Chains A and B, each alone.
Chain A
Amino acid sequence: MSAPGLAGRHILLVEDDYFAAEDLATALDLAGARVVGPAASVDQALDLIARTSRLDGAVVDINLGGAMSYDVVDRLRAQGVPVIFASGYDHRAIAAAYRDVPLCEKPVDLQRCARLLFGGDRVPVAPGISRPGPTRRAD
């Protein structure tokens, strides 16, 4: 199932919660993306960025076990890698210098993710992956 915008893309995933990371990794995988990571901490993420030759985009949680992930965003922006935040935080909780980073509120809507990262139109969601947008998929 090809996913315009995500298929074939190398996406860095930075998320400290194991189940959230695993769910999102699975969803990205099913959408045809190559998942780099996931990384659970700032150090780990920086290490992965240094070791990975190709990165097309990144989905980054803001709070990693109590530490803010701004260093990771800095490094990605310096390398020209499109990045979005995936977080339960409100815009106002984000440091002013990072308010221009697109924010995808949790639970993450993969289509919105793809749109924010690559301007793609829509991304099919694999059946059985429970990463719905909050207003859709009632039962």
Chain B
Amino acid sequence: MTEDDIIGIYAARQKTLADFGDFAARHDDLDKMLHEACRLVAQALGTRRAKVLELQEGGGQMFLRAGIGWNPDVVGRVRIPMTEHSSESYSIKCGHPVTSPDIAEETRFEVPQFMRDEGVVALANVPILLPGGIVYGLLQVDDTKPHRFADHDIQFLRTYSAVMGPLIDRLLKANALRESEERFRLTVESVTDHAIFVTDPDDIITDWLPGAQAVFGWTAAEAVGRPGALVATAEDRQTGQPCTQTQAAARDGSAPITRPHQRKDGAQVFIEGAVRALRDPGGRLTGFVRIGRDVTERHKADASLRTLMEGIPQLVWRSLDRGDWIWTSPQWISFTGQSSGQARGWGWLEAVHPEDRDRVMLAWDQAHARGGLDTEFRIRRAADGAHLWHRTRSAPVRDAAGRITEWLGTSTDVQTQREAHDRQSVLVAELQHRTRNLISVVRSIATQTMAGTGPTPAFLDRFNARLSALSRVQGLLSRSDHEPITLPALLRLELDALGAREGSTIRLDGAPVRIRPSLVQTLALGLHELATNARKYGALSGAGGVLTVRWQVEEGATGRRLVIDWQEEGILHDPAQGQAPDSGYGRRLIEKALPYSLGALTTYHLGVDRLDCRIDLPLERPALAPAMAS
């Protein structure tokens, strides 16, 4: 080899390096660059074949990433395991070039089968190192005939791989950055329910993401270059609100946004989010990013709810368990004069009438078990110090797991209703009073009439007794709202009027069955007739008889029925006397009037020494009684 030859080789290799450097500077695609590296090195060394093997993550295998002179199914496909004995493992472990002029005579390592299949006879490997000494892979040139690589060939390969390392490193890093930026871009652009846009230090829009377009309506082309105040409402622009926000963000790092904003179509959207200051590593302000969510619907619902809670006449409040208030509506504040702070906790009790406080707290104690609160108490009105009755109701608010998180309650002014109810009670009492007075007037008219028509004391006696029975039952009826009327109460009322008491000769046997007010009057008159007869002729006349009244409720086809058995035993009935002179009215009452008016089934049987009367009447509702023959 002449000196000129050597100079020619060096010049060609210098050119190869220069060409490669040139190519790499103009291309950002790693695969293209590696391919060109293989092409140039194979050409420079005259081997026709070259390849780049990339050490895979974990170091378990090598990937044939680029090559020249190989079958198409080799490049980008073949992976070579890093076995102990391969030439590749050997080269990487040595960390310096390895050559094999003829693999048939090679004893240091085995050559992979695919290379033999491809007719490889000689090879030279040189590791490619990234800055910092990290192994990237191998540069390998192969020949299909025995090839003794000269020292200057090896030195050239070392130089070549030393140039490749940093160039590969640059592209790997650029790719990684591009991938991460791409991921970031895809992520940000897929967020369409958040409006995101970026402005420069002067708050001029530089980046307008799809979410911003979705929320505000402007496209990126329309928005970029305009001020960030583009999305502010006219009022906010006038008061300089956008400027206040960016100033706060520049000062504090970020500032919250909770305001109505303006869409391109003029509609308002309510945005919740933040504006954040952007700074470069040197701390210099580079702009602002605004990220906000369109919460218009929720805001409307909140506003409606608030309007409702503050607009209804009820005093509204929120509470934890046992009346531990956490919020009061303005109505409570204006009614009681308490501040919201004073009402919190149990402070609201101060506005409750002292006599009612125990009852209220008792209601709260039971609210959990009952699943609600419903009570009435008086609340002091600040305007005049009057205590007005309020009905207070509350229902628990539960979380998804069903646990009570708080109580939502209202207090409604029921003073007027209570007064009306009180007035009504007075009126009812007055009406009952007048009815009873009327009865006494009727009685005196009867007496006066008797005085005119002549003395018939028997008439007067009976008539007065019946009117008295009627009068007594009015008394019971007037209280029936508060005191349900029961059968034993009716019986005792009649027996008491006759001076008779339960004991050995009078037995009452049955549960305190409640009698509907519309049944009471007629039934009481019937019982009065039975009691009066017993007093005069039967078990209560003092001649040794026994009265037993036994009753029970039976379930019938048409509803519950009350069956009353009135039995008088051991009575001395005087056949000569026959029925009592006035028994006509009493028997008609029992045998006709009770069936007609109450739908009762009655039997009345007077034996030699006993009386059996059964009254079987429907308790539930006015029953269909047989029509009376006229």
- Interface, chain A (partner B; CB < 8 A): 13, 16-19, 21-22, 25, 29, 35-44, 47-48, 64-67, 139
Contact = CB atoms under 8 A, between A and B. Distances in A.
Given A139-B449, A139-B452, A65 B628 contact: no
A44 B516 contact: no
A22 B628 contact: yes
Interface in B127-176: none
B597 A40 contact: yes
B627 A44 contact: yes
Contacts of A29: 630
Contacts of B455: none
A64 to B, nearest CB: 7
Contact of A65 (B518, B588, B630): B518
Interface range on chain B (Cβ under 8 Å from partner): 20 to 34
Contacts of A18: 522, 588-589, 592-593, 596-597, 628
A40 B449 CA distance: 32
Contact of A38 (B599, B624, B628): B628
Contacts of B518: 65-66
A38 B625 contact: no
Contacts of B624: 41, 43-44, 47
B621 to A, nearest CB: 8
Contacts of B628: 18, 21-22, 25, 37-38, 40
B627 A65 contact: no
Given A37-B627, A39-B627, A139-B449, A65 B596 contact: no
B512 interface: no
10 contacts: A16-B597, A16-B622, A17-B522, A18-B522, A21-B596, A38-B627, A42-B622, A65-B597, A67-B622, A139-B453
B111 interface: no
Contacts of B593: 17-19
Given A39-B627, A41-B622, A44-B627, 20 more contacts: A16-B596, A16-B597, A16-B622, A17-B597, A18-B589, A18-B593, A21-B596, A22-B628, A25-B628, A25-B630, A37-B630, A38-B630, A40-B622, A40-B628, A47-B627, A65-B519, A66-B516, A66-B517, A66-B622, A139-B449
Contact of A48 (B519, B522, B623, B627): B627
Contacts of B598: 65
Contacts of B452: 139
Given A65-B518, A65-B598, A40 B630 contact: no
A18 B522 CA distance: 10
Interface in B61-103: none
Interface of B: 449, 452-453, 516-519, 522, 588-589, 592-593, 596-599, 622-625, 627-628, 630
A59 to B, nearest CB: 13
A35 B630 contact: yes
Contacts of A16: 596-597, 622
Nearest to B628: A38
A14 to B, nearest CB: 11
A18 B624 CA distance: 14
B199 to A, nearest CB: 71
Contacts of B449: 139
Nearest to B598: A65
Nearest to B593: A18
Nearest to A22: B628
A83 to B, nearest CB: 18
A39 B624 CA distance: 9
A40 B625 contact: yes
B597 A44 contact: no
B526 to A, nearest CB: 11
A89 B259 CA distance: 66
B622 A65 contact: yes
Nearest to A19: B593
Nearest to B519: A65
A81 to B, nearest CB: 18
A40 B624 CA distance: 8
A44 B518 CA distance: 18
A42 to B, nearest CB: 8
Nearest to B449: A139
Contacts of A36: 630
A29 B628 CA distance: 14
Contacts of B627: 37-40, 44, 47-48
B630 A41 contact: no
B522 to A, nearest CB: 8
A44 B630 contact: no
Contacts of A17: 522, 593, 597
Contacts of B596: 16, 18, 21, 40
A64 B596 CA distance: 12
Contacts of A38: 627-628, 630
A37 B622 CA distance: 17
A92 B627 CA distance: 30
B625 A41 contact: yes
Nearest to B625: A40
A59 B599 CA distance: 21
Given A18-B596, A40-B597, A64 B622 contact: yes
Among A39, A40, A44, find the residue whose CB has the most chain B CB atoms closer than 10 A.
A40
Contacts of A19: 593
Contacts of B522: 17-18
Nearest to A11: B630
Contacts of B516: 66
Nearest to A38: B628
Nearest to A45: B627
A12 to B, nearest CB: 11
A17 B622 CA distance: 13
B466 to A, nearest CB: 11
Contacts of A43: 624
A47 B452 CA distance: 46
Contacts of B517: 66
Among A25, A41, A42, A139, find the residue whose CB has the most chain B CB atoms closer than 10 A.
A41
B623 A41 contact: yes
B101 to A, nearest CB: 123
The 9 A-B pairs of least Cβ separation, nearest first, read: A18-B593, A66-B518, A65-B622, A35-B630, A18-B596, A41-B622, A25-B630, A43-B624, A65-B518
A27 B598 CA distance: 24
Contacts of A47: 624, 627
